[in-house]
Structure 1
Amino acid sequence: MATDPPLVLDIDGTLTRPAGWGIDPRIFDPLHEWDAPVVIATGKAFPYPIALCHFLALPELVVAENGGIVYTGDAVSVTADRERAESVVESYRDAGYDLGWGPDDTVNRWRETELAISREQPLEPLREAATAHGLEVIDTGYAYHLKDPTVSKGEGVKTVAETVGIDLSTAVAVGDSINDVSTFEVVGRSFAVANADAAASEAADEVLEAAHADGTLAALERVRGGV
Structure 2
Amino acid sequence: MTEPLLKQSSALIVMAVLGALVLAGCTPASEPHPSPIAASQPVETEKPGPAEEIQVGDELTAEQAQELNDSNDLTVAYPVGDKFIAVRWGQPIPEPVLQEVNAQVNAGVGASHGTGTGAAMDQEQANLQAQLQAESDKLGGITVTAVQCALSFSTSINSFAPAWAVSEPGPVGTYDSQAEATSAAQAWADGQPGKRIFVVLNNLGC
> Taking structure 2 as the reference length, what is the TM-score of the superposition?
0.27
User: Which structure shows the bigger proportion of residues in helix conformation?
Assistant: 2
Greater relative contact order (CA < 8 Å, ≥ 6 in sequence)? 1
Structure label with greater radius of gyration = 2
> Taking structure 1 as the reference length, what is the TM-score of the superposition?
0.25
